[in-house]
A = this chain, B = another copy of it.
């Protein structure tokens, strides 16, 4: 993941830590960030008119093929945060999401991540239904 300045994000979503998401170290468990980031991606999709569960029912599965997460500082009970999200096309059938989590109100960067995502049909064959082009509209 490139260090240095993070690009401005196309989309952002605010959230706050729920106590059940914290583990015995008293911090948000590593796996839970993937929950947050998935949720932010699905809200972004929905805002573009693409409902993830409908897409799955229609036979197109958006799947993560690679995830990279840099954990810089932990979220704790009571923390508020913002998830920034950017998207670009890596290939005709592959999408990249860049997602950062910032503490609020300081906007300190807590986590930087990127996800490579592919669309496939039920048999695992790559597809890229036209509806997904909406994600890249200016």
Q: Which A positions have Cβ atoms within 8 angstroms of B?
A: 18-20, 22-26, 29-32, 34-35, 38-39, 42, 46, 51-53, 56, 61, 63-74, 76-78, 124
Contacts and interface: CB of A to CB of B under 8 A. Distances in A.
Please classify the interface of chain A as helix (H, G, I), strand (E, B), loop, or mixed, using the class held by over half of its residues: mixed
Contacts of A66: 68-71
14 contacts: A19-B23, A19-B24, A19-B39, A19-B42, A23-B24, A24-B24, A24-B26, A30-B67, A31-B35, A34-B34, A65-B71, A66-B69, A68-B68, A73-B124
A17 to B, nearest CB: 10
Nearest to A70: B66
B30 A64 contact: yes
Given A20-B39, A34-B34, A56-B25, A78 B51 contact: yes
B53 A26 contact: yes
Nearest to A124: B73
Given A31-B32, A71-B64, A77 B24 contact: yes
A113 to B, nearest CB: 9
